[in-house]
Amino acid sequence: MPALSDKAVRHWFVTGASGGLGRHLTEHALRNGDRVTATVRRPAALRDLRRTYGDDRLTVETLDLTLPADVERVVAKTLASGPVDIVVNNAGYAVVGAAEEMTVQQIRDQVEVLLLAPMLITRAFLQPMREQGGGRIIQISSMGGQVGIPTHSSYHAGKWGLEGFTESVSREVSDFDIHLTLVEPGGTRTGFASALRYTAETAVYRDTAVGRIRRHLATADASTFTGDPARLAAVIYDTTRRPNPPLRLALGSDTYSAIHTALTERITALESQEELAASVAFTE
């Protein structure tokens, strides 16, 4: 059987496709002759693409990622229509504020969308991908999957969790020609910033790093975000054609710089503890 990346027409499953990177990926795949099942909360957002490419090339499904039963329903319906070659877990958003300002529901919703839903979707496609001889799963993480900043604790919980889950699963399924890739974009002009949700601000944090970042995000303009989502989509698409794609794909000079700094600091801190780490072993 030919490699899935060589198939003339491949079937994509993309979450959060109504705008931003998800829509760019959907358009890019369609322009290159592929078929896409796109999940959205507002089906009308893709009406223009359905007119252009037709229902035989683009299937639009309404999906609420905070409802596991909804995830199960849509995935099952998609698989019933035929094999899926590429899954893109893209949907996401961020709640901004101090950890103690966040409500329990805000935390639950962040973890549901950023971590639990991608886990459930990934698991649902593993068996059919094994049986068809392989597949690709693209997890849209973030530089926030490797770097932590104040105000994003729940967002980081989801993205760091997604990174650990993906790294583990990638090693579980490597023998089946199933490849998982974590895409880590930096600031990208996708409208993500304008869709940020904020906690109710408390006075005690107003003059701290939390308050400063909150004000910066609230006033940031498009020039702050240098990533071109169309170029990101093209790079991600090309990655799905590579026989051995990377586990992690850092996209954006801001991402490269931030992750490089974070990893260097961690290595330095770890190396300073070498003797301490060894000191807890049993002694003869």
Residues annotated as part of the active site:
141, 155, 159
52-59's contacts with Cβ under 8 Å and 24+ in sequence apart are 57/30, 58/26, 58/30, 59/35
Rounded to the nearest angstrom, the gap between the alpha carbon of residue 50 and the centroid of all alpha carbons in its chain is 24
Of 118, 107, 113, nearest in space to 153 by CA? 107
Question: What is the DSSP track for 187-236?
Answer: SBSSSTGGG-EEPPP-GGGTTSHHHHHHHHHHH--GGG--B-HHHHHHHH
Strands of 65-207 (E only): list them: 86-89, 95-96, 135-140, 178-185, 197-198
220 C-beta neighbours (distance < 10 Å), count = 14
Rounded to the nearest angstrom, the gap between the alpha carbon of residue 53 and the centroid of all alpha carbons in its chain is 26
Of 128, 138, 142, nearest in space to 14 by CA? 138
Phi, psi at 207, each rounded to 5°: -105, 20
